[in-house]
Chains A and B, each alone.
Chain A
Amino acid sequence: KQEVTQIPAALSVPEGENLVLNCSFTDSAIYNLQWFRQDPGKGLTSLLLIQSSQREQTSGRLNASLDKSSGRSTLYIAASQPGDSATYLCAVSKGGGTSYGKLTFGQGTILTVHP
Protein backbone atom coordinates (compact mmCIF):
# COMPACT_ATOMS: atom_id res chain seq x y z
CA LYS A 1 0.00 0.00 0.00
CA GLN A 2 1.36 3.39 -0.99
CA GLU A 3 2.21 5.70 1.88
CA VAL A 4 3.10 9.36 1.41
CA THR A 5 4.90 11.35 4.09
CA GLN A 6 5.51 15.07 4.17
CA ILE A 7 8.17 16.76 6.25
CA PRO A 8 8.04 19.09 8.07
CA ALA A 9 4.45 19.03 9.33
CA ALA A 10 4.62 22.78 9.91
CA LEU A 11 7.03 25.51 8.94
CA SER A 12 7.18 29.16 9.91
CA VAL A 13 9.56 31.48 8.08
CA PRO A 14 10.10 35.21 7.66
CA GLU A 15 9.15 36.81 4.39
CA GLY A 16 11.78 36.58 1.67
CA GLU A 17 13.27 33.23 2.67
CA ASN A 18 13.75 30.41 0.22
CA LEU A 19 12.30 27.16 1.53
CA VAL A 20 11.97 23.49 0.73
CA LEU A 21 9.08 21.17 1.44
CA ASN A 22 9.69 17.44 1.33
CA CYS A 23 7.51 14.56 0.20
CA SER A 24 8.42 10.88 0.24
CA PHE A 25 6.50 7.85 -0.98
CA THR A 26 7.04 4.16 -0.29
CA ASP A 27 6.14 2.64 -3.69
CA SER A 28 8.25 4.05 -6.53
CA ALA A 29 5.85 2.71 -9.17
CA ILE A 30 4.02 5.99 -9.51
CA TYR A 31 2.44 7.49 -12.60
CA ASN A 32 2.88 11.09 -11.61
CA LEU A 33 3.09 13.37 -8.60
CA GLN A 34 1.19 16.58 -8.02
CA TRP A 35 1.69 19.40 -5.56
CA PHE A 36 -1.37 21.31 -4.32
CA ARG A 37 -1.96 24.17 -1.93
CA GLN A 38 -5.02 24.48 0.25
CA ASP A 39 -6.07 27.66 2.00
CA PRO A 40 -8.08 27.27 5.23
CA GLY A 41 -11.64 26.15 4.50
CA LYS A 42 -11.04 26.09 0.76
CA GLY A 43 -10.50 23.59 -2.01
CA LEU A 44 -7.20 22.47 -3.49
CA THR A 45 -5.27 24.52 -6.03
CA SER A 46 -3.00 22.60 -8.35
CA LEU A 47 0.56 23.94 -8.35
CA LEU A 48 2.67 21.52 -10.36
CA LEU A 49 2.39 18.07 -11.91
CA ILE A 50 5.51 15.98 -12.53
CA GLN A 51 5.21 12.94 -14.73
CA SER A 52 7.13 9.85 -13.65
CA SER A 53 9.57 10.30 -16.55
CA GLN A 54 10.37 13.88 -15.58
CA ARG A 55 12.86 15.21 -13.05
CA GLU A 56 11.44 18.64 -12.35
CA GLN A 57 8.83 21.24 -13.18
CA THR A 58 8.86 24.98 -12.66
CA SER A 59 6.16 27.59 -12.37
CA GLY A 60 7.12 31.12 -11.35
CA ARG A 61 8.74 30.99 -7.90
CA LEU A 62 7.95 27.29 -7.52
CA ASN A 63 10.16 24.41 -8.54
CA ALA A 64 9.30 20.79 -7.91
CA SER A 65 11.72 17.92 -8.34
CA LEU A 66 11.13 14.20 -8.48
CA ASP A 67 13.51 11.35 -7.75
CA LYS A 68 11.32 8.36 -8.44
CA SER A 69 13.94 5.72 -7.63
CA SER A 70 14.46 7.06 -4.12
CA GLY A 71 10.77 7.89 -3.64
CA ARG A 72 11.24 11.60 -3.03
CA SER A 73 9.96 14.92 -4.25
CA THR A 74 10.74 18.43 -3.10
CA LEU A 75 8.88 21.69 -3.60
CA TYR A 76 11.16 24.71 -3.58
CA ILE A 77 9.58 28.12 -2.99
CA ALA A 78 11.79 31.10 -3.74
CA ALA A 79 11.47 34.46 -2.04
CA SER A 80 8.51 33.47 0.09
CA GLN A 81 5.65 35.92 0.65
CA PRO A 82 2.87 36.10 3.26
CA GLY A 83 0.44 35.11 0.51
CA ASP A 84 2.21 31.76 0.26
CA SER A 85 0.86 30.82 3.69
CA ALA A 86 -1.27 27.70 3.23
CA THR A 87 -1.17 23.94 3.59
CA TYR A 88 0.87 22.26 0.87
CA LEU A 89 -0.08 18.72 -0.13
CA CYS A 90 1.72 16.30 -2.36
CA ALA A 91 -0.19 13.46 -4.00
CA VAL A 92 0.87 10.50 -6.11
CA SER A 93 -1.12 8.68 -8.76
CA LYS A 94 -0.51 4.97 -9.24
CA GLY A 95 -1.54 4.61 -12.84
CA GLY A 96 -3.42 5.86 -15.85
CA GLY A 97 -6.67 4.66 -17.34
CA THR A 98 -9.52 3.77 -15.01
CA SER A 99 -7.31 3.98 -11.91
CA TYR A 100 -6.25 7.54 -12.63
CA GLY A 101 -7.46 10.10 -10.13
CA LYS A 102 -6.97 7.74 -7.23
CA LEU A 103 -4.52 10.05 -5.54
CA THR A 104 -2.70 9.15 -2.37
CA PHE A 105 -2.05 12.30 -0.39
CA GLY A 106 0.49 13.17 2.23
CA GLN A 107 -0.67 14.78 5.49
CA GLY A 108 0.49 18.17 4.28
CA THR A 109 2.91 20.87 5.42
CA ILE A 110 1.37 23.94 7.04
CA LEU A 111 3.40 26.92 5.90
CA THR A 112 3.28 30.29 7.60
CA VAL A 113 5.21 33.19 6.11
CA HIS A 114 5.28 36.18 8.45
CA PRO A 115 6.05 39.74 7.36
Chain B
Amino acid sequence: DTEVTQTPKHLVMGMTNKKSLKCEQHMGHRAMYWYKQKAKKPPELMFVYSYEKLSINESVPSRFSPECPNSSLLNLHLHALQPEDSALYLCASSQGTGTGGGNTIYFGEGSWLTVV
Protein backbone atom coordinates (compact mmCIF):
# COMPACT_ATOMS: atom_id res chain seq x y z
CA ASP B 1 0.00 0.00 0.00
CA THR B 2 1.63 3.23 -1.16
CA GLU B 3 -1.03 5.62 -0.06
CA VAL B 4 -0.82 9.10 1.33
CA THR B 5 -4.24 10.33 2.45
CA GLN B 6 -5.11 14.01 2.59
CA THR B 7 -8.18 15.69 4.07
CA PRO B 8 -10.14 17.67 3.23
CA LYS B 9 -10.11 17.37 -0.55
CA HIS B 10 -11.58 20.85 -0.91
CA LEU B 11 -11.54 23.77 1.51
CA VAL B 12 -12.93 27.27 1.15
CA MET B 13 -11.92 29.69 3.86
CA GLY B 14 -12.13 33.39 4.57
CA MET B 15 -9.08 35.51 5.19
CA THR B 16 -9.79 35.64 8.93
CA ASN B 17 -10.44 31.93 9.38
CA LYS B 18 -8.23 29.31 10.97
CA LYS B 19 -8.25 25.90 9.34
CA SER B 20 -6.01 22.86 9.05
CA LEU B 21 -5.03 20.43 6.33
CA LYS B 22 -4.28 16.88 7.39
CA CYS B 23 -2.08 14.19 5.91
CA GLU B 24 -1.65 10.58 6.95
CA GLN B 25 0.49 7.68 5.79
CA HIS B 26 0.82 4.17 7.18
CA MET B 27 3.84 3.04 5.18
CA GLY B 28 6.29 3.57 8.02
CA HIS B 29 7.84 6.49 6.17
CA ARG B 30 10.01 8.75 8.28
CA ALA B 31 10.11 11.78 5.99
CA MET B 32 7.06 13.87 5.13
CA TYR B 33 6.65 16.94 2.97
CA TRP B 34 4.29 19.77 2.11
CA TYR B 35 4.26 21.11 -1.43
CA LYS B 36 2.19 23.90 -2.96
CA GLN B 37 1.04 23.82 -6.59
CA LYS B 38 -0.53 26.74 -8.41
CA ALA B 39 -2.56 26.17 -11.54
CA LYS B 40 -0.51 25.03 -14.54
CA LYS B 41 2.71 25.21 -12.52
CA PRO B 42 4.90 22.47 -11.05
CA PRO B 43 4.82 21.80 -7.29
CA GLU B 44 7.04 23.87 -5.03
CA LEU B 45 8.42 22.62 -1.73
CA MET B 46 7.21 24.28 1.46
CA PHE B 47 8.37 22.09 4.37
CA VAL B 48 10.27 18.87 5.04
CA TYR B 49 9.95 16.81 8.21
CA SER B 50 12.51 14.15 8.90
CA TYR B 51 11.95 11.82 11.84
CA GLU B 52 9.22 14.18 13.09
CA LYS B 53 11.53 17.18 13.15
CA LEU B 54 11.29 20.13 10.79
CA SER B 55 14.39 20.02 8.61
CA ILE B 56 13.51 22.41 5.77
CA ASN B 57 11.34 25.54 5.74
CA GLU B 58 11.50 27.15 2.32
CA SER B 59 10.96 30.66 3.71
CA VAL B 60 7.24 30.05 3.95
CA PRO B 61 5.17 32.87 5.50
CA SER B 62 4.22 32.30 9.14
CA ARG B 63 0.53 32.18 8.25
CA PHE B 64 1.35 28.58 7.29
CA SER B 65 2.30 26.51 10.33
CA PRO B 66 3.28 22.85 9.95
CA GLU B 67 3.00 20.25 12.68
CA CYS B 68 4.08 16.63 12.84
CA PRO B 69 2.32 15.03 15.85
CA ASN B 70 3.77 11.58 15.12
CA SER B 71 5.51 9.67 12.37
CA SER B 72 2.26 8.97 10.51
CA LEU B 73 0.62 12.38 10.62
CA LEU B 74 1.41 15.78 9.18
CA ASN B 75 -0.75 18.86 9.57
CA LEU B 76 -0.65 22.28 7.97
CA HIS B 77 -2.34 24.96 10.05
CA LEU B 78 -3.66 27.93 8.12
CA HIS B 79 -4.40 31.37 9.52
CA ALA B 80 -5.00 34.79 7.99
CA LEU B 81 -4.39 33.57 4.47
CA GLN B 82 -4.54 35.73 1.36
CA PRO B 83 -6.42 35.01 -1.87
CA GLU B 84 -3.09 34.38 -3.60
CA ASP B 85 -2.58 31.40 -1.28
CA SER B 86 -5.32 29.57 -3.16
CA ALA B 87 -3.69 26.47 -4.60
CA LEU B 88 -3.45 22.69 -4.47
CA TYR B 89 -1.54 21.64 -1.35
CA LEU B 90 0.19 18.31 -1.72
CA CYS B 91 1.50 16.12 1.04
CA ALA B 92 4.18 13.55 0.29
CA SER B 93 6.27 11.00 2.13
CA SER B 94 9.31 8.79 1.64
CA GLN B 95 10.77 5.90 3.57
CA GLY B 96 13.87 7.82 4.39
CA THR B 97 15.81 10.84 3.32
CA GLY B 98 17.64 9.30 0.44
CA THR B 99 20.41 7.29 2.01
CA GLY B 100 21.85 4.86 -0.48
CA GLY B 101 20.66 6.54 -3.63
CA GLY B 102 17.16 7.59 -3.00
CA ASN B 103 13.73 6.71 -1.83
CA THR B 104 10.66 7.15 -3.97
CA ILE B 105 8.57 10.08 -2.87
CA TYR B 106 4.85 9.31 -2.77
CA PHE B 107 2.31 12.08 -3.10
CA GLY B 108 -1.26 12.33 -1.89
CA GLU B 109 -4.20 13.53 -3.98
CA GLY B 110 -3.92 17.01 -2.54
CA SER B 111 -6.21 19.49 -0.85
CA TRP B 112 -7.69 22.21 -3.00
CA LEU B 113 -7.68 25.45 -1.01
CA THR B 114 -9.65 28.53 -2.01
CA VAL B 115 -9.22 31.69 0.05
CA VAL B 116 -12.04 34.21 -0.33
Contacts from A to B (Cβ < 8 Å): 31-32, 34, 36, 41-46, 49, 51-54, 89, 91, 93, 95-103, 105-108
Contact = CB atoms under 8 A, between A and B. Distances in A.
B101 to A, nearest CB: 4
B48 A51 contact: no
Contacts of B73: none
A97 B99 CA distance: 7
B110 to A, nearest CB: 5
B55 interface: yes
Category for how many chain B residues contact A: 35 or more
B71 to A, nearest CB: 15
A100 B51 CA distance: 13
5 contacts: A31-B101, A51-B102, A98-B56, A100-B94, A101-B94
A97 B102 CA distance: 10
A110 to B, nearest CB: 9
Interface of B: 2, 4, 6, 31, 33, 41-45, 48, 50, 55-56, 58, 88, 90, 92, 94, 96-110, 112
A9 to B, nearest CB: 11
Contact of A101 (B2, B41, B56, B100): B56
B92 to A, nearest CB: 7
A42 B102 contact: no
Contact of B42 (A54, A96, A107): A107
A105 B101 contact: no
A35 to B, nearest CB: 11
A43 B102 contact: no
A101 B45 contact: yes
A10 B90 CA distance: 24
B102 A32 contact: yes
Contacts of B101: 31-32, 51-54
